[in-house]
């Protein structure tokens, strides 16, 4: 009986013995001196082999480094081997040590002694009983290279809870991405990998994040360049500590505290990781603890490095007035440095947009390929840089370096003060640029836009309908007509202010004089606000408060308030100057101009905040010895004004406008619900412009109005506007009854689709940049409902098979045409998601520019 029991116990022990092995260890927890850890193969991508013996199970790593396992006291036997891989090209010595923590006390458990190439792997058989932590540490024995250590056949027997690996502080993660640093106290911060967890893209060699001048990386600019108080062009940074803090649910901050061992300078490199959105947001803070000022020359907010194929492509976003994003291009990366910049500081996004896509293995496709993306959140002068180093004898692959920040312009940092850089928002996907855009959209709806979940009203804006040529009666008529169309808000654009010699009857006078024009509007804004109320719609107003016309009372009184390069003549741009916000009294004036209006007219619900100059006269007499800081000062002042207005007038929405899309960067959008994407309102052109914006912005951020100009019928214009935040930009009086009916019907349809469109994920299909047919699928996250848009820009009739994307292949859907006109584009039908995505919808486009909208609803 006793023998039976013992045998039973032995059998059950065998049956239930739990075992942890190296296969359970996530590679990302390993902190190592060089390269990326490999599973079941060595660092040179061949079979694991130590002392001429081959091993199938193990991890290839590189000293110095290590990792920690948390135990629950129930771990027992720990066995395995360690040794130097035979394939290593040189001779590197490694020492392995295991430490165990018992009751808070750290004890050395095993010391391998010096491991050398060619020797047999060294076995260990240890007892972990009672231990709460196991620390594995590998040391390079002072040589620092060729330390290719293989961890072989490691196993831990345990009772209850499996050993848990601890991520080192330099490992920053989201659900699908990781960014890996080596952050060892008193050593330089080393950047390793950036990419999807299943597709690391980091260069194999760890790179100094802040290389000290003269030490490394002669081909790269320093990410942070400082002239010390004694005149030395020198900065060397080592890690002091790393802190991790949870900022909000799913958002973690990693803060690397760095210090210069010789100079009183500290730097904090801050990275926010958005878990679900798969986004990293980085910035730096420079602290001058010295008694004298220093100069900062270069100050990149973020820096990443990639290993890539020779077939890497850079997508950059170009355009100009009325053509925002339309001159965008995707170029094969040449060797050397590619720099994108806007030195103007005013209208920073009009001619080029401060974001890029970098595809590491061929052109960026919508649904495949490895794509890194970055966007700088800054409304001043900026620069983005990509350096492509071709392969050489040491690095068989291309190495890419990306950095972004404020335009390189020397700024002074006073004693005992801190400089905070703007943020760079980055993401990555190995499933193409479509996923990159969806990550950005998710981030925008979480943190990037002001009031992301507020329902955006349908607006009629007066500009293209009447320009400056209006009076009270005209506007009240417009308000009445707008309400009849189903519009929810009327916005009075430019032309309502300025009096006497400086009436705003054209763009030549009046900016700065924010008093109501008593000739045009004798009863003030109240008459218009009451008319809007009476017609059941809200009222909004246009302002351009950062500018002044020379022909204005403001300029006559304060000529020194306009920006000016000291001692130089001033130039106008659109007959106006930019106000110098580096002067506190000017900042106060700008804030008060708008705050006074909003206080006087509390029923104003929306402000269109315009900005119509280019960056001429970029200087200030107020800080003649610190002209490099002008863009910073101007931008920070705009942010302060917006922050204060948003706080004090929480019920007012603010649109960002700058001659169209001149200020649509991620920095501005933190203070705005939406932006006016372009003065181009021709629907056919808007298809392409909005396609460009969709790389970074979700549809609700993009104000898109049915305009009076251009080709394409009214139904197409309505459908194009639905793909953004729909509005109207014409005088309803100027169109015939048929078109008014089309707009009216479109608005009603949009009101039904709006809740779906606001939350949906966007899948771009065929591109309008390469074909006259394009399509967009807006699909709810749960895949239960979606809206599909197809556009044909040619005049020939065409039968097309357009394929929605992003559906659940197993669901059955009902497909119904909505916003149809008398000629249907397809016959409504039912199909599975798979059928829809593979076979598409047969769309019969008539012989004019034309569009289709399909509602896709799950029925089973």
Residues that bind ligand DGJ (CB under 6 A): 463, 493-494, 542, 610, 612, 657, 659-660, 676, 679
Residues 6+ apart with CB under 8 A from 445: 452, 453, 698, 759
| CA separation for the pair 814, 544 (Å, rounded) | 47
- What's the min distance (Å) between Cβ of 467 and ligand DGJ? 8
| CA separation for the pair 645, 484 (Å, rounded) | 32
Q: Which is nearer to ligand DGJ, 430 or 612 (CB)?
A: 612
| CA separation for the pair 94, 112 (Å, rounded) | 9
Tell me which residue of 231, 287, 297 sits closest to 260, measured CA to CA: 287
- What's the min distance (Å) between Cβ of 643 and ligand DGJ? 23
Q: Could you tell me the two tokens for 493?
A: 């654009």
Q: If residue 473 lies in a helix (H) or strand (E), which one and from where to where? A: helix 472-485
| CA separation for the pair 616, 838 (Å, rounded) | 53
Q: Which is nearer to ligand DGJ, 200 or 496 (CB)?
A: 496
Q: Which is nearer to ligand DGJ, 33 or 660 (CB)?
A: 660
For 664, other C-beta atoms within 10 Å of its C-beta total 31
Residue tagged active-site, from 31, 86, 494, 610: 610
- What's the min distance (Å) between Cβ of 494 and ligand DGJ? 4
Strand partners, 241: 257
Residue with tokens 């679900």: 276
User: Which residue is closest to ligand DGJ by CB?
Assistant: 494
CB 326 within 8 A of CB 684: no
Q: Which is nearer to ligand DGJ, 441 or 551 (CB)?
A: 551
| CA separation for the pair 825, 842 (Å, rounded) | 8
Strand partners, 253: 245, 272
| CA separation for the pair 199, 179 (Å, rounded) | 11
| CA separation for the pair 266, 226 (Å, rounded) | 12
- What's the min distance (Å) between Cβ of 727 and ligand DGJ? 11
Distances (CA, A) of 160 to 13, 18, 72: 13, 8, 8
Strand partners, 19: 157
- What's the min distance (Å) between Cβ of 681 and ligand DGJ? 9
Separate counts of helices (H) and strands (E) for the chain: 12, 53
Write the DSSP string, 564-630. Answer: --TTS----BTTBEEB-TTSHHHHHHHHHHHHHHHHH-TTEEEEEE-----STT---GGGGGGGGGH
Q: Which is nearer to ligand DGJ, 582 or 659 (CB)?
A: 659
φ and ψ at residue 850, rounded to 5 degrees: -155, 165
Q: Which is nearer to ligand DGJ, 467 or 601 (CB)?
A: 467
Instruction: List strand residue ranges (DSSP E) for 758-797, in order.
Output: 761-764, 773-779, 785-792
CB 301 within 8 A of CB 422: yes
- What's the min distance (Å) between Cβ of 675 and ligand DGJ? 10
Residues 6+ apart with CB under 8 A from 36: 27, 192, 193, 200, 202, 204
Q: Which is nearer to ligand DGJ, 401 or 468 (CB)?
A: 468
- What's the min distance (Å) between Cβ of 662 and ligand DGJ? 8
Residue with tokens 């973020």: 302
Q: Which is nearer to ligand DGJ, 493 or 513 (CB)?
A: 493
| CA separation for the pair 667, 231 (Å, rounded) | 33
| CA separation for the pair 687, 723 (Å, rounded) | 9
Q: Which is nearer to ligand DGJ, 387 or 612 (CB)?
A: 612
3-state secondary structure of 793: coil
* R_g (Cα) of the chain, nearest Å: 31
| CA separation for the pair 166, 180 (Å, rounded) | 14
Q: Which is nearer to ligand DGJ, 146 or 542 (CB)?
A: 542
- What's the min distance (Å) between Cβ of 855 and ligand DGJ? 32
- What's the min distance (Å) between Cβ of 355 and ligand DGJ? 21
- What's the min distance (Å) between Cβ of 461 and ligand DGJ? 7
Q: Which is nearer to ligand DGJ, 222 or 679 (CB)?
A: 679
Told to judge if 501 belongs to the known catalytic residues of this protein, a careful annotator would answer no
- What's the min distance (Å) between Cβ of 572 and ligand DGJ? 15
Distances (CA, A) of 482 to 144, 462, 532, 723: 73, 10, 9, 20
Residue tagged active-site, from 140, 493, 626, 679: 679
CB 317 within 8 A of CB 353: yes
- Is 271 exposed, middle or buried, given 0-12, 13-18 or 19+ CB atoms closer than 10 A? buried
| CA separation for the pair 692, 609 (Å, rounded) | 22
- What's the min distance (Å) between Cβ of 659 and ligand DGJ? 5
- What's the min distance (Å) between Cβ of 612 and ligand DGJ? 5
Say if strands 94-102 and 251-259 run parallel, antiparallel, or are unpaired: unpaired
Q: Which is nearer to ligand DGJ, 398 or 659 (CB)?
A: 659
DSSP state of 217: -
CB 279 within 8 A of CB 172: no
Q: Which is nearer to ligand DGJ, 384 or 509 (CB)?
A: 509
Told to judge if 150 belongs to the known catalytic residues of this protein, a careful annotator would answer no
3-state secondary structure of 812: strand
| CA separation for the pair 599, 369 (Å, rounded) | 52
Q: Which residues are catalytic?
A: 610, 679
């Amino acid at each position: 009986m006793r023998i039976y029991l013992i045998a039973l116990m032995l059998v059950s022990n065998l049956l239930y013995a739990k075992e942890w092995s190296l296969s359970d260890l996530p590679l990302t927890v390993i902190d190592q001196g060089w390269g990326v850890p490999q599973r079941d193969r060595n660092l040179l991508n061949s079979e694991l082999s130590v002392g001429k013996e081959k091993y199938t199970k193990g991890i290839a790593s590189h000293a110095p480094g290590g990792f920690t396992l948390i135990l629950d006291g129930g771990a027992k036997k720990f066995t395995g081997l360690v040794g130097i891989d035979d394939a290593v090209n040189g001779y590197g010595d490694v020492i392995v040590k295991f430490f165990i923590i018992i009751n808070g006390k750290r004890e050395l458990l095993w010391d391998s002694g010096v491991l050398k190439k060619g020797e047999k792997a060294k076995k260990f058989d240890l007892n972990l009983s009672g231990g709460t932590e196991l620390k594995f540490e590998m040391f390079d024995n002072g040589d620092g290279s060729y330390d290719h250590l293989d961890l072989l056949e490691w196993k831990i027997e345990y009772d209850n809870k499996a050993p848990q690996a601890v991520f080192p502080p330099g490992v920053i993660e989201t659900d699908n991405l990781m960014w890996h640093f080596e952050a060892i106290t008193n050593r330089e911060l080393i950047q390793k990998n950036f990419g999807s967890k299943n597709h690391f893209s980091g260069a194999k060699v760890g790179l100094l994040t802040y290389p000290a001048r003269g030490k490394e990386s002669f081909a790269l600019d320093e990410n942070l360049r400082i002239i010390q108080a004694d005149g030395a062009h020198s900065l060397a940074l080592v890690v002091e500590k790393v802190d991790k803090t949870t900022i909000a649910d799913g958002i973690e901050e990693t803060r690397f505290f760095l210090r210069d061992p010789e100079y009183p300078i500290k730097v904090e490199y801050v990275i926010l990781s958005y878990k679900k959105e798969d986004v990293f947001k980085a910035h730096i803070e420079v602290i001058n603890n010295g008694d004298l000022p220093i100069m900062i020359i270069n100050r990149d907010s973020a820096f990443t490095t990639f290993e890539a194929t020779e077939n890497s492509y850079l997508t950059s976003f170009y355009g100009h007035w009325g053509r925002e994003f339309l001159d965008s291009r995707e170029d094969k990366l040449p060797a050397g440095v590619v720099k994108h910049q806007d030195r103007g500081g005013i209208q920073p996004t009009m001619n080029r947009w401060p974001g890029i896509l970098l595809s590491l293995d061929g052109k960026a496709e919508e649904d495949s390929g490895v794509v890194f993306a970055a966007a700088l959140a800054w409304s001043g002068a900026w620069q983005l840089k990509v350096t492509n180093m071709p392969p050489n004898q040491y690095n068989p692959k291309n190495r890419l370096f990306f950095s972004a920040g404020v335009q390189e312009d020397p700024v002074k940092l006073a004693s005992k003060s801190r400089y905070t850089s703007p943020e760079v928002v980055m993401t990555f996907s190995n499933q193409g640029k479509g996923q990159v855009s969806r990550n950005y959209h998710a981030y925008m709806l979480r943190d990037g836009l002001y009031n992301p979940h507020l329902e955006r009203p349908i607006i009629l804006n007066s500009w293209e309908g009447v320009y400056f040529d209006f009076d009270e009666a005209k506007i009240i008529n417009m308000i009445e007509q707008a309400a009849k169309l189903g519009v929810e808000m009327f916005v009075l654009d430019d032309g309502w202010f300025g009096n006497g010699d400086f009436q705003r009857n054209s763009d030549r006078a009046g900016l700065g004089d924010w008093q109501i024009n008593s000739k045009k509007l004798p009863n003030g804004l109240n008459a218009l606000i009451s008319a809007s109320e009476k017609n059941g719609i809200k009222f909004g107003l246009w302002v351009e408060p950062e500018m002044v016309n020379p022909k204005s009372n403001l300029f006559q009184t304060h000529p020194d308030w306009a920006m000016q390069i000291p001692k130089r003549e001033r130039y106008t741009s659109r007959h106006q100057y930019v106000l110098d916000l580096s002067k506190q009294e000017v900042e106060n004036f700008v804030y008060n101009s708008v705050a006074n209006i909003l206080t006087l007219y509390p029923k104003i619900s929306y402000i269109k905040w315009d900005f119509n100059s280019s960056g001429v006269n970029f200087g200030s007499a107020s800080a003649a010895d610190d002209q490099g800081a002008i863009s910073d000062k101007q931008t920070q002042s705009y942010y302060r004004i917006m922050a204060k207005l948003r706080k004090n007038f929480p019920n007012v929405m603010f649109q960002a406008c700058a001659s169209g899309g001149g200020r649509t960067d991620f920095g501005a959008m933190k203070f705005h619900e939406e932006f006016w994407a372009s003065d181009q309102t021709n629907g056919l052109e808007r298809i392409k412009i909005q396609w460009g914006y969709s790389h970074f912005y979700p549809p609700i951020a993009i104000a898109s109005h049915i305009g009076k100009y251009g080709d394409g019928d009214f139904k197409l214009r309505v459908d194009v506007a639905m793909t953004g935040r729909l509005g109207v930009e014409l005088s309803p009086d100027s169109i015939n009854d048929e078109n008014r009916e089309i707009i009216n019907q479109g608005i009603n349809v949009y009101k039904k689709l709006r809740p779906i469109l606001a939350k949906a994920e966007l899948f771009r299909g065929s591109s309008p940049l390469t074909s006259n047919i394009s399509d967009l699928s807006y699909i709810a996250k749960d895949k239960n409902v979606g809206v599909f848009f197809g556009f044909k820009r040619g005049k020939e009739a065409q039968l097309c098979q357009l394929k929605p994307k992003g559906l659940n292949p197993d669901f059955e859907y009902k497909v119904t045409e909505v916003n149809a006109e008398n000629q249907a584009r397809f016959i409504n039908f039912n199909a599975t998601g798979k059928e829809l995505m593979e076979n598409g919808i047969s769309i019969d486009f008539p012989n004019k520019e034309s569009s289709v909208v399909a509602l896709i609803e799950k029925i089973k």
